[in-house]
Structure formats: C-alpha cells, structure tokens
Amino acid sequence: MSKNDKLQELQSLVPADVTICETTQQMLAKAHRDGVDTAFDRAAAMKACPIGEKSACCKHCAMGPCRLNSKDPYSKVGVCGATIDTIQSRNFARMVASGTASHTDHGMEMLNLFKGVVSGEIKDYEISDTEKLIQVAGELGIATEDREINAIARDLCTEMEKTYTQLEGELPFIKRAPLKTQEMWREAGVVPRGAMREIMEIMTRTHMGMDQDYSNLIKQINRTALADGWGGSMVATEIGDILFGTPYPVVGEVNMGVLKKDEVNIIIHGHEPNLFDSMIASVNDPELIAKAEAAGAKGINLVGMCCSGLEMLSRRGVPHAGNFMSTEAVLVTGAVDAMAVDVQCIKQGLAKVADCYGTKLFTTNPRAHIEGVPHIEFEENYPRECTDSVVEMAIKRFAGREHPIDIPKRKDKGVFGFSHEYINYMLGGTFRGSYTPLNDNIINGRIRGVAGVVGCTNPRVKQDWVHVELVKELIKNDILVVQTGCSQISLAKAGLLTPEAAHLAGPGLAEVCETVGMPPVLGLGACVDNSRILTAVCNMVAAGGLGDSIADLPVAGAAPEYMSEKAIAIGQYFVASGVYTIFGVTFPIVEQTKFHKLMFEGLEKQGMGKWDFAVDPHDIAAKMIAHIEKKRAALGLDKDKERVLVGMDDRRAIDS
Ligand code: BF8
Ligand code: SF4
C-alpha cells in the first residue's frame, strides 16, 4: 500500500464514530494525519471472525482444527465427534482458566511481596494498614489478641498461601460468603480447593478426549472462576490494602489533560501496585528531581493508566490519563517521555506508536516482554533500580524532545477510593459502621438496588459510550452504581463520579446521595477489586432484610464493553456467586444451544446467578432493572409500589 493510500484509509475512520472520549478523538485525528494506526483502525480493517466469535471452532488437536456451523450448530460435529456444546464449553473453560490464572498470578505476586516484607528480606515496602491486617486475619480464624503484628502477618501469609497451593479442602475466603451461598456451592460441588489445582484441572479436562459433557465441565468452570473471585483477586485486594493502604475517598484528575508540557511525563500502565509504588518513590527523589530540572523541566509528572493507574488513583490520588482504549492514543500527544508497563492488557501495538513519537517504552516484568521493546526488570528486593532508571531515561528523552507536543486540554475530576470498608463507614458513621442504612434505603425503595458496571473498553463498540449511557439510565432509575476497572474512567470523564452528579439520579437515589454527600456512582478500584463488590454484597446479606444468600439480593452486574478473558472469569464468578451478569459487545456461545441454555437459564435454577447479553446500553439497562425488580418482588419489596395515597373517604372509613 502506498503512503497516500494508507493515509486515505486511516482518514476514512471518523474518530467521533468510534469513541466519545474527546481527547482520544483528538489524538486519533492527529495519528491519522501522521499516518499512524491504532487498535481502532485495526479493528475497522479486520472484521471479527464469525466462527471464532461464536466459539464454534476447535483446535485442540491435529485431527482438526474443526469448524462447525454457528447458524446450524447441530448439523456437524468435529472429527473426534465433539458436539457444539463440547467445543464451546471447552473454549469457555479455557478463557476462564486464563482469566483466573492472571488474577491468581497477580495475587501470588502480592503474597510473595507480603512474605518478603514480613520476613524482613524486602525492605522497600512495609505494612501500612495494620488494622486491616488484624481484621482479615481474624476473619480467617487467626488469633490476633495480644500478638505481635509480625506474628499475625506470618500466619496470615501461610493461610493465604492455601488460596494457591492447597490440594484438598476449601479456599480460605470461602467463609466470607453468606452461609446459604456456601451451602449452595457445596451442593453443586464447586467449592474451589486451591487455584493452581483448579486451573490445572481445567486444562486437563479440556484436552482432546477428556470431559465431553458440558453439564459436567460447568462444575470445573465454576470452581475455577470462584477460585479467582474468592481467591486470587480477593487476596490481591486484601494484601494490596495491607501493604499500600485501604482506599478512602480521594478527589482525582483524569483524562489526557493531566500531562504537562513543561514537565517530564511518565506513565505507568498495567496491574501490579508494587511497580507504581516504587515509581512514586523515584519521582519524589530529590536527586532525580534536580536532574529533571537541570534538563529544563519544571518537575516530574507521574500519571497512571488502566488498572495500575486505578490502584494508585484510589490510594494516593495520582492522576489518571485514560482507560484501555486510550493507551495508544495518549502516546500521540508526543508528551509522554516514558511509559513503563508490567502485566496484562498491554497492547503490542504500543511499541510502534511509542516508536513513532519517540516515547521510551519499557517492559518491566519477566512474564511480559514485547519483541523489540527494551526490558528493565523490576525486582522487589531492589525496586528502585528499575524505576530510577526509567526516570533517568524519561529525563533524557525530555531533554532531547524531537516531536511536536500536542496535549489535549481536557481534564475531569472524580471521587475515587470507595473501599467496602469506607462504604460501611460512610453509611453508618464511625461508631455504628454498617450496611444497614443501605439496606433500609433499598427496603423502603428510595434505592431500588445496586448495579456493578465494570470492565474494559473495546474498539468493537464506541469507547465509553456504552458505559456512560448504561450508568446514566441506571441511576436515573434509582439504582446505585459501583464500579471497578476501566469503566470507572469512562464515567469519571463524563463527570458522574462526583457528588454533583446526584442531580442525574432519580429522586430516591438523589436524596440518599445528597444526605450522605456521595456520588451516585462509586469507584471501587482496579479489576481485582471486583472482590470488594463480593465483600460488599456479603455485608448486604449480613445486614439483613434482603434475603439469606447473594442470589436473593436486588443486584446486577455488567461489563458492557468487555474484551479480556479476565472479564469472562470475573463474569463467571459473579454468576456462580448468585449475581445476574450481563455482557455487551459479543458473547462466545452460540444462542439456543444446550450450553447456552445452561449458562443463561440453568445455573439460576441451581441457586446461582445467570448470564445475559445485549449490545445496546438501553437494552442492557432495561434487562438489569427488570432483574432487580424481579428480586425485589421475590423479597416482598414491591409492596411500596402498590401503596396508594389515603383519600378522605378512606380516612373516614378508618376513623369509623
Ligand atoms: O484488569 S478493565 S481493559 S485494564 S481487563 Fe484490562 Fe479490562 Fe481495563 Fe485492568 Ni480489567
Ligand atoms: Fe476437532 Fe475434536 Fe480435535 Fe477439536 S478435539 S480439533 S473437535 S478432532
């Protein structure tokens, strides 16, 4: 393709058609002028494979790969005889395994760090929230009274390690769930043992010639997904809080306008908070600041993206430049002097865009290199060696900036850091912290229910638009929204993470928000912090009045712009925990097959939640609201609707 043809092709994509994020639009237009492509352009040029999209193909052995017909799914079987239900349940199982492995690996890294801190081997980090440590230890049955913090911490490490390595028995955090939910899991035979064992078992059960009954494989799918939510992710969140602090509300700035023309700009993008924490220390080092100033910069500006960014936005108020679909676009500003990445959701496409605009891109984690991108390994025993050298390279790049700088002006404010602990405190106050006020407001109908709107952005749908429209519709209908992951940044850019957004809520929710001074949309953190939502729903059940299990609650979850296997694992653990969960974009199961019916109807009959799917945000909202109202009715909470104003005639009748 000639250069002109390429420019013409790029310019045929209208930025406003693919994203509502103003700054991303501006940078896409600039990229097109510069002849640079991003995932938006590649998605437009590459139609999703219709067979793969529906999971109607299998390449688990060399007798295949086999393709079935997603329009007529029972017309063919694979060479080995595998049916559509076998093929798509195996594919789904492997997605869950990969997603669970990612969160579990992240959690295990946090555990290793915690162990190193407790043993004294790692000196650059410390326990910063002893209160949380004691509370979690107590929950897991570890004696805490009159004991030294380090002794409690050691026992906690041993107990939490079971999450990964235990061969028999139940995951430690299973006991956090309501008893009825635990019983339902035991009855279904899906209580996870240790995450490594469950992931291994999925891999063997999906090998050619193994588990060829989707209704049996679903047990392992659920067991593995639960090992993510109540295991890997929950441990990652709890250790994150113990080491880096439990979040409490903090006002933060988001969007590309957080970059500064006259400072050295460094972006951290990825997932593990240890790299970011060390980078905070590096950018505050007087020696490095002096070097930056000597290079002509007014300072060093540290900014986050994706989930790493959310970890430190929620805990320290570090500015956030944007979500997953803005990571290439932000480099087009030319203002990013260095970007350091660790694990997960790092597009390989970043390498080329960074190269075009002279940004120094570094990988830092032994598990995630990118071909051609320099690697500076991050080691927890000497974290500053990595982060200091990234700062040095950024300063060098600042001094030799060759590309025009074009920073979009827009930045937005939001309130972040609503841990479930803080929600407890916010609603109940210091001395009687509890979820009772939330339950009361749900029971009296001011709040109809709670919705989790979470997850990625994806170039197959208009970036941020589905998230924003969906959340607006939910709060307008008096549904309180909680958020994690990239979705939270979509809503922050739309201004909905502020208490002032209460005017967009229905009258009941608005009243509660105004009384408490909270936004109608609460940001809970990164994707592993979906475990905070699990803990919050446990607290709701415990506070009483809304049933005995998670499945009884008037709650629903959505990932309307999801893209990753991690999102699939998260969706599955919410479903297995009892939550109605709806995804957008596309769904990797052929409709009306037996496996589809099991996931979309059958699991609910076992006391779990269920999957649903819709693309349009208003359809998604309608389905979530209908589910919440159904749960309210089952709890007998729909009576308030029937309550009529007592007229004079009725009153006279009562009086007499
Ligand atoms: O774990 S929301 S795009 S960044 S997968 Fe990735 Fe999706 Fe963002 Fe964090 Ni979660
Ligand atoms: Fe085909 Fe069966 Fe091999 Fe899959 S396992 S590729 S369906 S022969």
Closest C-alpha among 513, 381, 527, 532 to residue 447? 513
Provide the terminal-to-terminal Cα distance of the chain, rounded to the nearest Å. Answer: 90
Asked whether residue 472 carries a pLDDT value surpassing 60, the answer given is yes
CB 359 within 8 A of CB 288: no
Ligand nearest to the CA of 81: 2
Model pLDDT, residue 345? 97
Backbone φ and ψ for 443, nearest 5 degrees, come out as -65, -40
* pTM to 2 decimal places: 0.95
- Residue whose pair of structure tokens reads 């060093």 in the numeric block: 300
pLDDT of residue 423: 85
In angstroms, the CA 61 to CA 80 distance is 9
| Ligand 2, atom 2, residue with closest C-alpha | 80
Element (H, E) at 302: strand 300-305
The residue whose two tokens read 């649903």 is 612
Give 373-421 as a DSSP string. Answer: S-B----TTSHHHHHHHHHHHHHHHHHT--SPP------EEEEE---HH
114 lines ligand 1 (CB under 6 A): no
Nearest ligand to the CA of 325 is: 1
**Exposure of 164 in the CB half-sphere (CA atoms within 13 A):** 20
**C-alpha distances in angstroms, 458 versus 43, 324, 389, 560, 585?**
9, 8, 33, 9, 8
Sign of CA dihedral 523, 527, 528, 533: positive
Q: What is the pLDDT of residues 414-463, one digit of tens each?
A: 999 998 888 888 877 655 668 898 999 999 999 999 999 999 999 999 99
* Long-range contact set of residues 639-647: C-beta below 8 Å, sequence gap at least 24: 640/444, 640/445, 641/445
**If you search the block for the tokens 């999925």, which residue do you land on?**
202
Residue-wise pLDDT tens digits, 598-623 = 999 999 999 999 999 999 999 999 99
Q: Looking at ligand 1, which residue's alpha carbon is closest to its atom 3? A: 456
Closest CA to 398 of 442, 339, 337: 337
Question: Alpha carbon 65 to chain centroid distance?
Answer: 33
pLDDT in tens, 253-307: 999 999 999 999 999 999 999 999 999 999 999 999 999 999 999 999 999 999 9
pLDDT at 656: 43
> Could you tell me if 175 and 205 are in contact, meaning their C-beta atoms sit under 8 angstroms apart?
no
Cα–Cα dist 625/628, whole Å: 5
Predicted confidence (pLDDT) per residue in 343-361, tens digit:
999 999 999 999 999 999 9
- Size of the chain in residues: 656
Give distance in angstroms: CA of 84 to centre of ligand 2. 11
C-beta 106 within 6 A of ligand 1: no
Ligand 1 centroid, distance to 591 Cα (angstroms):
26
Question: How many CB atoms are closer than 10 A to CB 265?
Answer: 29
The protein residue with its alpha carbon nearest to ligand 1, atom 9, reads 307
pLDDT exceeds cutoff 80 at 407: yes
Ligand 1 pocket mutation, candidates 464, 486, 570, criterion most atoms within 8 A of CB: 486
324 lines ligand 1 (CB under 6 A): yes
How many H-runs (helices) and E-runs (strands) does the chain carry? 29, 15
Exposure b/e, 575-585, CB count within 10 A at least 16 = b: bbbbbbbbbbb
Q: Average pLDDT, stretch 520-535?
A: 96
Euclidean distance between CA atoms 126 and 68, whole angstroms? 54
For residue 643, the model assigns a pLDDT of 43
Minimum mean pLDDT range among 9-13, 60-64, 113-117: 9-13
Ligand 2 pocket list (CB less than 6 A): 58-61, 63-66, 78-80, 82, 87, 208
**Cα(599) to centroid of ligand 2, in Å?**
23
Residue 38 has pLDDT above 50, yes or no: yes
Looking at residue 425, its pLDDT comes to 82
Which atom of ligand 2 lies at the shortest distance from residue 86's CA?
7
Closest atom of ligand 1 relative to the 528 alpha carbon: 1
pLDDT tier for residue 2 given thresholds of 50, 70 and 90: confident
Residues with Cβ within 8 Å of residue 66, at least 6 apart in sequence:
57, 58, 59, 78, 79, 82, 87
Kindly give the distance from the C-alpha atom of residue 483 to the centroid of ligand 1, in angstroms, as a whole number.
12
Give pLDDT, residue 431. 57
Residues 519 and 411 sit within 8 Å (Cβ to Cβ): no
Q: Which atom of ligand 1 is nearest to the CA of 457?
A: 3
Give the dihedral of Cα atoms 27, 32, 34, 39; nearest 10 deg: 70
What confidence score (pLDDT) does residue 581 get? 98
pLDDT tens per residue across span 567-604 = 999 999 999 999 999 999 999 999 999 999 999 999 99
Where are any strands of DSSP class E within 443-489?
A: 449-454, 479-484
Q: Say which ligand is closest to the CA of 309.
A: 1
Averaged confidence pLDDT in the chain: 94
Task: Pick the residue whose CA is nearest to atom 7 on ligand 2.
Answer: 78
Ligand 1 proximity of 569 Cβ (cutoff 6 Å): no
| pLDDT interval class at 163 (50, 70, 90) | very high
Give the model's pLDDT for residue 5: 79
Average pLDDT estimate for 207-219: 98
Q: Does the beta carbon of 442 lie inside 6 Å of ligand 1?
A: no
**DSSP for residue 333:** G
Rounded distance between C-alpha atoms, residue 41 and residue 12, angstroms: 9
Listed in order, strand segments (DSSP E) in 333-407 are: 338-341, 360-363
Share of the chain above pLDDT 70, in %: 96
